[in-house]
């Protein structure tokens, strides 16, 4: 314990994994008399978990640090995460930091903060775990870290190191703790969850979670198409507790571009996986990451990607433009796509994605969906997420966040389903 009450603010740029890690740091600091406040509030200490997956992520990380300094010119600022790991000198040129700690030092941040403020560190029985997810009604659970695929455009495999997985016992203990705190959905996350290996693979982990926890909703974060194994697909088909939603890191529909990216799968593999998933669970929502403007992407290559998106049941698209990452093979590739061409291609794919999303949403009018309550708006309306990852707005009275409700869908507006509650429950 320390004599002064310190106010600490956190910001996580980018992925769910970064958000999980910030929560773990925040919980580790709570026994030392530190109060968590919002990042735009005055704080004594600001911790920024940076990202460097794209140039935009770099900029967001820098802007977060500048916001913290403006809020309190005397604050101690700590930068961690992927940008801090790969380019600490860039960050140090921005500010006078109390600490710049890359991913390799992230687990030590709670102790370093306590030392910094004159406290005495006492290790917890279980480090780097969480019991809740502040600001979220659905909790993230880190199951692994690291990647060894070395895609030609990516630096994250260098920033995060080799794949390493948590023990299934620690994951199950964490999920049970989250259930006791009222959570009814967890999202299994990591840098590359398809690489989970700890005595068994991802399908084996899911089997044990289903057997050893009461958590009613289990959601998978992003997977590569070639990581949807027969065992995983069988489990997906058989187990209702696994949410009918798959997010695939597709990136391109061009065989040539996929090869240049080093992705390790083909467009036919993408098609096969999506078709099998839809057959297994017809109400599945398929999300996908798609990149436009990879070096050397011709109009023909782009047309193949667009055709794949148009022809397959892909419902939610995350479209982004290629961004040079220093030190990657792709940054040295010739035939860079002009920014104006990238912008045009981006807009085209976004429009197709929005049309397909609207069509998918309309399919659910008149149907009943199980929704977890996430937030409220003025006028008594609440927002939630269905099992198949559709946003739903409805009036629910005093229904608490994290509760589960059955909602009949009556319409669609602005990419959101509108519905009426027919039942409220909290599955045990």
Per-residue pLDDT of the chain (428 residues; tens, 9 = 90+): 555 688 999 999 999 999 999 999 999 999 888 899 999 999 999 999 999 999 999 999 999 999 999 999 999 999 999 999 999 999 999 999 999 999 989 999 999 999 988 888 887 655 578 999 999 999 999 999 999 999 999 999 999 999 999 999 999 999 999 999 999 999 999 999 999 999 899 999 999 999 999 999 999 999 999 999 999 999 999 999 999 999 999 999 999 999 999 999 999 999 999 999 999 999 999 999 999 999 999 999 999 999 999 999 999 999 999 999 999 999 999 999 999 999 999 999 999 999 999 999 999 999 999 999 998 776 778 999 999 999 999 987 778 889 999 999 999 998 999 999 987 776 54
- Give the DSSP H or E segment for 107: none
- Give the DSSP H or E segment for 383: strand 381-386
Q: Which residues contact 89 (CB under 8 A, 6 or more apart)?
A: none
Strand segments (E) across 21-86 = 34-37, 45-50, 76-81
- In angstroms, rounded to a whole number, what is the distance separating the alpha carbons of residues 51 and 17? 11
**What residue spans of 161-292 are helical by DSSP H?**
168-180, 202-212, 230-238, 255-261, 267-280
Q: What is the pLDDT of residue 381?
A: 87
Q: From residue 176, how far is each of 172, 217, 332, 355 by CA, in Å?
A: 6, 12, 47, 39
What single-letter DSSP state applies at residue 145? E
Virtual CA dihedral for 112, 67, 10, 323, nearest 10 degrees? -100
Q: Residue 60 has which token pair?
A: 């967001």
What single-letter DSSP state applies at residue 314? -
In terms of DSSP bridges, do strands 381-386 and 368-376 run parallel, antiparallel, or are they unpaired? antiparallel
Query: Do residues 64 and 32 make contact, with C-beta atoms less than 8 angstroms apart?
Result: no
Q: What is the pLDDT of residue 375?
A: 83
Q: Residue 269 has which token pair?
A: 């593999």
Question: Angle between the 267-280 and 230-238 helix axes, to the nearest 10 degrees?
Answer: 30
Q: Residue 171 has which token pair?
A: 């994951």
Query: Do residues 130 and 20 make contact, with C-beta atoms less than 8 angstroms apart?
Result: yes
- In angstroms, rounded to a whole number, what is the distance separating the alpha carbons of residues 33 and 152? 45
Give me the phi and psi of 314, to 5 degrees please.
-105, 125
Burial of 93 (0-12, 13-18, 19+ CB in 10 A): exposed
CA Rg, the chain, in Å? 22
Closest CA to 245 of 224, 268, 222, 269: 222
Q: Residue 71 has which token pair?
A: 């809020």
- Cβ atoms < 10 Å from Cβ of 77: 24
Across 296-329, b (16+ Cβ under 10 Å) vs e yields: bbeeebbebbbebbeebebbbbebbbbbebeebb
Query: Do residues 404 and 216 make contact, with C-beta atoms less than 8 angstroms apart?
Result: yes
* 102-110 CB contacts, 8 Å cutoff, 24+ apart: 102/159, 103/159, 103/160, 103/161, 104/161, 105/80, 106/21, 106/25, 106/49, 106/80, 106/81, 109/25, 109/47, 109/78, 109/80, 110/25, 110/28, 110/29
The position carrying tokens 């083909």 is: 266
Give me the phi and psi of 8, to 5 degrees please.
-125, 135
Question: Angle between the 109-116 and 16-29 helix axes, to the nearest 10 degrees?
Answer: 40
Q: Name beta bridge partners: 281.
A: none
Task: Classify the phi-psi angles of 296: left when phi > 0, otherwise alpha if psi is within -120 to 50, otherwise beta.
Answer: left
- In angstroms, rounded to a whole number, what is the distance separating the alpha carbons of residues 49 and 87? 13
> How are the residues of the chain apportioned to helix, strand and coil, as percentages rounded to the nearest 5?
40, 25, 35
- In angstroms, rounded to a whole number, what is the distance separating the alpha carbons of residues 69 and 76? 9
């Amino acid at each position: 314990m320390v004599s002064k009450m310190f106010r600490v603010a956190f910001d996580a740029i980018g992925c769910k994994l970064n958000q999980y890690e910030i929560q773990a740091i925040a919980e580790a600091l709570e026994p030392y008399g530190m109060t968590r406040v919002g990042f735009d509030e005055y704080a004594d200490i600001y911790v920024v978990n940076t990202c460097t997956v794209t140039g935009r992520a770099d900029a967001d990380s820098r802007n977060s640090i500048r916001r913290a300094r403006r809020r309190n010119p005397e604050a101690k600022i700590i930068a961690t995460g992927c940008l801090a790991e790969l380019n600490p000198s860039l960050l140090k040129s921005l500010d006078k930091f109390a600490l710049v700690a890359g991913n390799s030092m992230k687990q030590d941040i709670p102790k370093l903060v306590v030392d910094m403020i004159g406290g005495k560190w006492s290790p917890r029985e279980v480090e780097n775990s969480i019991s809740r997810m502040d600001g979220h009604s659905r909790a993230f659970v880190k199951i692994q870290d690291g990647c060894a695929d070395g895609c030609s455009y990516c630096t994250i495999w260098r920033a995060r190191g080799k794949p390493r997985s948590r023990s299934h016992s620690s994951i199950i203990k964490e999920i049970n703790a989250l259930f006791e705190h009222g959570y009814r959905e967890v999202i299994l996350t990591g840098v590359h969850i398809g690489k989970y290996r700890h005595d068994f693979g991802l399908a084996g982990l899911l089997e044990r979670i289903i057997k050893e926890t009461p958590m009613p909703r289990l959601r998978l974060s992003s997977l590569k198409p070639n990581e949807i194994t027969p065992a995983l697909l069988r489990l997906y088909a058989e187990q209702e507790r696994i949410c009918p939603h798959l997010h695939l890191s597709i990136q391109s529909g061009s065989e040539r571009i996929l090869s240049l990216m080093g992705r390790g799968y083909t467009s036919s593999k993408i098609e096969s996986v999506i078709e099998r998933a839809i057959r297994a669970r017809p109400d599945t929502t398929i999300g996908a990451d798609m990149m436009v403007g990879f070096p050397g992407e011709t109009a023909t290559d782009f047309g193949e990607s667009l055709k794949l998106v148009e022809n397959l049941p892909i419902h939610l698209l995350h479209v982004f433009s290629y961004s040079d990452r220093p030190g990657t093979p792709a940054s040295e590739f010739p035939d860079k796509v002009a920014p104006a061409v990238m912008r045009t291609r981006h807009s085209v794919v976004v429009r197709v994605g929005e049309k397909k999303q609207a069509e998918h949403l309309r399919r659910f009018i008149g149907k009943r969906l199980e929704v977890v309550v996430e937030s409220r708006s003025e006028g008594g309306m609440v927002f939630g997420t269905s099992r198949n990852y559709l946003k739903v707005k409805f009036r629910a009275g005093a229904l608490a966040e994290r509760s589960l409700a059955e909602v009949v869908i009556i319409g669609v507006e602005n990419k959101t389903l509108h519905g009426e509650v027919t039942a409220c429950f909290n599955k045990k």
